Amino acid sequence: MPTALADLLILDFSRVLAGPYATMVLADMGARVIKIEQPGTGDETRRWGPPFADNGLSAYFIAVNRNKQSITLNLKHPTGQAIARELASRADVLIENFLPGTMARMGLGYNDLRPLNPRLIYCSITGYGQYGPDANRPGYDTVIQAEGGLMSITGEPDGPPMKTGVAVADITTGLYAATSILAALHYRTHSGEGQYIDLALFDVQLSWLANVAS
């Protein structure tokens, strides 16, 4: 059957959970997703088990990387960078979750790629955003749950702070990313221009505390 996003090409430079979850949602809607992985090892969650499937892949990896194609590129090598730029020149969306500045140092930042493809929607996912005192800290779901207040309202009333049973900061950031990308795609249909999306796990965690935060 026809799918809603069948005409879109998405480059997924992300790994572990938040970024891959976002591209999984878009792939489920029909987008073609090419996952860019590190040569030799790939996304580290390929080995995060048990359990493992018969093909050796972890359940963790399989859970959020369905409906995608994978290639490996050495982004530290000029040839790998050139291939990435060529792909980005004809892609609709790019998602990455490196520390701030990492993609730019490889010539693959938004300002590097926008001249090649003004229609590109570029989504960066980090722990604490592109700017500010914590920008260069890596973001881990459990830490974000603690710092963002979720653990203080989870568990028994007289018990210690408790994390949730699934990495909800990562998952909800992935959902926010997918929603933001769809909004940017809608904007592009009228303007012809792409956009840069800056998402932080910490910001997302705070935002969905909702009435509790109030």
Alpha helical stretches, state H, 89-198 = 102-105, 110-113, 141-147, 168-191
Residue whose C-alpha is closest to residue 122's, from 32, 194, 190: 194
Asked if residues 17 and 64 have their Cβ atoms less than 8 Å apart, the reply is yes
What b-and-e string marks burial along 67-103, b requiring 16 or more CB atoms within 10 Å of the CB? ebeeeebebeeeebbebbbebbeebbbbbbbbebebb
CB-side exposure of 153: number of CA atoms within 13 Å? 13
- Annotated active-site positions, please? 170
Tokens 């007289």 belong to residue: 158
Is the backbone peptide bond immediately before 50 cis, with ω within 30 degrees of 0? yes
Quickly count: other Cβ atoms within 10 Å of residue 196's Cβ.
15
Q: H or E segment at 35? A: strand 32-37
